[in-house]
Amino acid sequence: MVADDSGSKPVTLTDVARLARVSVPTASRVLNGGVRGKASGTPELRRRVEEAARALGYSVSTAAQAIKDGRARTIALIVSDIDDFGSATVIAGVMHAAEERGLSVAVRTTRDDARRELDLLTKLRGERHRAIVLATSRTTDAEREAVLDEHLRLLQAQGASVVLIGDSDLPYPAVTVDNRGAAARLAVGLVDAGHRSFAVISGPTDQVTSRDRVEGFLEGLAERGITVPDDDVIHAPFSRDGGFEAVQRLGDRVGGFDVIAAMSDAMAVGAIASLRDRGIEVPNGIEVTGFDHVPMLGDVLPRFSTVEIPLEAFGEAALSLALDEAEGDERPTRIALPTETIVKGSVYAG
Amino acid sequence: MVADDSGSKPVTLTDVARLARVSVPTASRVLNGGVRGKASGTPELRRRVEEAARALGYSVSTAAQAIKDGRARTIALIVSDIDDFGSATVIAGVMHAAEERGLSVAVRTTRDDARRELDLLTKLRGERHRAIVLATSRTTDAEREAVLDEHLRLLQAQGASVVLIGDSDLPYPAVTVDNRGAAARLAVGLVDAGHRSFAVISGPTDQVTSRDRVEGFLEGLAERGITVPDDDVIHAPFSRDGGFEAVQRLGDRVGGFDVIAAMSDAMAVGAIASLRDRGIEVPNGIEVTGFDHVPMLGDVLPRFSTVEIPLEAFGEAALSLALDEAEGDERPTRIALPTETIVKGSVYAG
DNA sequence: ACGTCACTGGAGAACGTTTGCCAACACTGT
DNA sequence: ACAGTGTTGGCAAACGTTCTCCAGTGACGT
């Protein structure tokens, strides 16, 4: 233990230049493939610089680059929780799309805490991202959304693109799916498959996605002449535990339904667990349906009904919006991606 | 098209200082809560600066800070795929632990591509992270590991801590679980529950984790006097699709087993899907077991047997290792976390 | 032989922040 | 009134990189 202390410094361009016996700018030019016309420098000189860089294990400081040209080669992605069912897929999609464009992704989580969300957006301003992709679920709480809008505006003011994933009333480019229509198709499909009495369990009423799905689902049922009493629409957290809780809240009435329609696959899983607690095994006697299409569920539960949301494709769409890769002059401010309705294993596009 | 170009600049400390009519260093001192003794500056002056900062929406440039003190307030986390079952949980754990320490996490993926992995580590050198947490599954390929070691060494040389999550032969601090022992306990538990004939499906043979689990499982069976012919141990990719493929490869022999023991929950899911394709519904006639404990599976599959790995706790342990929060002088280079064996819903600690 | 040209590579500045240093100032005690 | 003490806030430097200049070099045409 000679206490090296690892007081070692990173290798800088200065080190490379010194070893190659050239000036710092020259080294920079060589390593950047020649900023000027084509490749810069005498072959011999290029060789010296490249070899020095390799020998020292040099890698350019992204911080210095960021400070130089005012922005980092990064985009920020904000999700509520990273280990949500959907989030990981969305993140993967964004990362993939970003990588193709030579950008890195900084993932940040809000844990559905409005306060955290604002602090986060403040910090984000200091990180000089090229774009901010906000993939948290938006609410209908006007005041909260207004404050958020304020922060996003500041981000935009410093030159960052802001893109939303999911529905909201905020005035930014957004990638969405037609939750309402998809939910309606699911409802119709379930009725056509022979089901008649439904309980609906979903997330908080002030959450835009949750609201749209419930409304769409009820509309779909209405289309087939079926109405669901308010008491049979339960709102709980939009999560596995929320699904568990929602079924508990249905109490003894649970026996009376053909279907418990959860407005997310996570809630569906919680619902199934809760039913088992009461001694009811799905799908014997009662069926649970979901929304989102977590692939694993389809593998494990035969003939599970749900709606497939193209979570991975969100990333590509969001980045093309964010980086202003619009075709025409009028920038499209909203991309609606298609969903697929899966009823008992049969797929209906839409 | 007046070509506004959104040529707007980020707000800098200079802007704040100008508005508050103080010098830049003074503004810096005020906003940092006074680098000197305690709070710095006259109350009146502090007020001016803070108000100016708020009015302009100032947020300090992390890049400038990073360049100033040689390292960023970030740690890098490398995983193979972000939407793996386990990865998201590990990431969440690391993020949580990092947040408590005021650090941000940069997540990067290798997609199990050795070449990508090296490029990534090179870029990472330029990002000046405080620590690198490598959570990809390590192999027994000596040459590949040697090259990796080389790159990690360079990272260390510039002052970054390197920590591994999972087993490997590399000489770095690591957070692990006793895969071998846990697999053995699972095997014993399954035999004691009455099972007699086993097929084992696992990841590539050169993957350390996969190897350890298979060896442990076979040892556990041997302890109870059961041996598994080599033909009944199938290696395929360590994923859902790998599990599917593995069962396909078992062919008609599949009917002869009491249990198909998958060495990861993801493979178990694929195996279940594959069995259904053949008309075999789990757990009627055959049982599939897993490893990792994806919570959702337990909800959906009653009495699913698996091993719980404390994926979330990896983060905390990794960061305490990385940030050198060792107690004594002799830094612990390895933290082994406990697992729990879950056989048909019953839990056995270990 | 001299002016022109294309090109090479170095000097210096700039990006935004923090920090060491120092001059100016206010206050206290004698 | 004055020396001593402590505080305040500005100046300048530094971090690593890239870009704009500019002087120098050799080739070439006249």
Name A73's bridge partners.
none
Residue A332's pLDDT is: 61
Beta bridge partners of B131: B75, B161
Is residue B106 less than 8 Å (CB to CB) from chain A? yes
Task: For residues A313-339, give the mean pLDDT.
Answer: 83
Q: Chain A contacts of B109, Cβ < 8 Å? A: 92, 95
pLDDT for B155 beyond 90? yes
What's the mean per-residue pLDDT of chain B?
Answer: 91
Out of B62, B89, B302, the one facing A126 most closely (by C-beta) is: B62
Q: Which residues of A fall within a CB distance of 8 Å from B64?
A: 63, 67
Q: How far apart are CA A69 and CA A51, in angstroms?
A: 27
Bridge partner list, B199: B260
Provide the pLDDT for residue B5: 43
What's the pLDDT tens digit per position in B158-191? 999 999 999 888 999 999 999 999 999 999 999 9
Quick check: B150 pLDDT over 60? yes
In this structure, is the CB of residue A61 within 7 Å of any atom belonging to strand D?
A: yes
The CA distances from residue B104 to A233, A239, B62, B65, B129, in Å, are 40, 26, 11, 14, 10
Going along chain B from its start, the domains and CATH numbers come out as: 13-60 (1.10.260), 71-177+312-338 (3.40.50.2300), 179-308 (3.40.50.2300)
Give the pairing type, strands B174-177 and B131-134: unpaired
Between residues B281 and A287, which one has the greater pLDDT?
A287
- Write down the residue that tokens 């993801």 correspond to: B266
Q: pLDDT at position B3, please?
A: 34
Provide mean pLDDT across the span B204-231. 96
Rounded mean pLDDT of chain A?
91
Burial B223-235 (b: 16+ CB within 10 A, else e): eeebebeeebbbb
State both tokens at B59: 């947020």
Residue of B nearest to A12 (CA): B126
Q: Which residues of B touch A6 (CB under 8 A)?
A: 156-157, 159
pLDDT at B227 over 70: yes
| Residue A150, CA distances (Å) to A71, A136, A157, A206, B15 in order | 21, 16, 11, 20, 20
Q: What is the pLDDT of residue A3?
A: 33
Q: Which of A67, A85, A112, A245 to mutate to test the interface with B (most CBs of B within 10 A)?
A: A67
Local confidence band at A34 (pLDDT 50, 70, 90 cut-offs) = low
What residues of B are in contact with residue A110 (Cβ under 8 Å)?
Answer: none
* Residue-level pLDDT at A130: 96
Cα of A311 to nearest chain B Cα, Å: 12
pLDDT at B327 (0 to 100): 56
Per-residue pLDDT of B240-254, as tens digits, reads 999 999 999 999 999
Contact B57/A at CB under 8 A: yes
Structure tokens at A228: 């669901």
Distance between CA atoms of B245 and A26, rounded to whole angstroms? 54
Reply yes or no on whether the pLDDT at A26 is more than 60: yes
**pLDDT recorded at residue B1:** 34
Two tokens at A284?
A: 């014997």
Tokens 């390197």 belong to residue: B162
pLDDT band at residue B152, thresholds of 50, 70 and 90? very high
B324 within 8 A of A3, measured Cβ to Cβ? no
- Cα–Cα distance for residue pair B210/B205, rounded to 1 Å: 7
- The answer to whether residues B63 and B90 touch, using CB atoms and an 8 Å cutoff, is no
Q: What percent of chain A has pLDDT over 70?
A: 93
Q: Do residues A172 and A164 touch, judged by C-beta distance below 8 A?
A: yes
Q: Is-contact A101 A71, C-beta < 8 A?
A: no
Give the β-pairing of B346-349 and B340-343: antiparallel
- pLDDT, tens digit, 9 for 90 and up, residues B41-65: 677 888 999 999 999 999 999 999 9
> For A97-112, how does the pLDDT look when each residue is reduced to its tens digit (9 = 90+)?
999 999 999 999 999 8
Calpha distance A333→A92 (Å, rounded):
23
A1: helix, strand or coil: coil
Virtual torsion, Cα A187, A191, A195, A201, nearest 10 deg: 10
Q: CB A10 to CB B128 under 8 A?
A: yes
pLDDT for the residue numbered B345 = 73
Nearest nucleotide relative to B27: CA against C1': D9
Between positions 221 and 280 of B, the ones with CB within 8 A of A are 240, 269-270, 272-273, 276
Q: What is the pLDDT of residue B84?
A: 83
A84: confidence class by pLDDT, cuts 50, 70, 90: confident
Mean pLDDT within B102-114: 95
Distant-in-sequence, close-in-space partners of A21: CB < 8 Å, separation ≥ 6 = A48
**From the Cβ of B73, is strand C under 7 Å away?**
no
Please say if the pLDDT value at position B120 is more than 90: yes
N-terminal to C-terminal alpha carbon distance within chain A: 66
Average pLDDT on B270-287 reads: 89
Tell me whether residues B59 and A269 touch, CB distance under 8 A: no
- Beta strand A104-109 with A74-79: parallel, antiparallel or unpaired? parallel
pLDDT value of position A5: 43
Strand C contact with B33 (CB < 7 A): no
Amino acid found at B54: R
pLDDT the model gives residue A331: 62
- Nearest-10 Cα torsion for B293, B296, B299, B300: -110
What pLDDT, on the 0 to 100 scale, is given for residue B68? 93
State the DSSP H helix or E strand holding residue A242, giving kind and residue range, or none if neither.
helix A240-250
Query: How far apart are alpha carbons A199 and A233 in whole angstroms?
Result: 6
The answer to whether the Cβ–Cβ distance between B301 and A300 falls below 8 Å is yes
Closest B-chain CA to A86: B83
Q: Which of A3-7, A115-119, A251-255, B112-116 has the lowest mean pLDDT?
A: A3-7
The predicted model scores a pTM of 0.93
| Percent of chain B whose predicted confidence (pLDDT) is above 70 | 93
Q: Are B254 and B282 contacting, i.e. CB atoms less than 8 angstroms apart?
A: no
Q: Write out chain B in H/E/C secondary structure.
A: CCCCCCCCCCCCHHHHHHHHCCCHHHHHHHHCCCCCCCCCCCHHHHHHHHHHHHHHCCCCCHHHHHHHCCCCCEEEEEECCCCCHHHHHHHHHHHHHHHHCCCEEEEEECCCCHHHHHHHHHHHHHHCCCEEEECCCCECCHHHHHHHHHHHHHHHHCCCEEEEECCCCCCCCEEEECHHHHHHHHHHHHHHCCCCCEEEEECCCCEHHHHHHHHHHHHHHHHCCCCCCHHHEEECCCCHHHHHHHHHHHHHHHHHCCEEEECCHHHHHHHHHHHHHCCCCCCCCCEEECCECCHHHHHHCCCCCEEECCHHHHHHHHHHHHCCCCCCCCCCCEEEECCEEEECCEEEEC
Does the pLDDT of residue A227 top 60, yes or no? yes
pLDDT tens figures, B291-331: 999 989 999 998 899 999 999 999 999 999 998 765 555 56
Give the pair of three-digit tokens for residue B166.
Answer: 């999972």
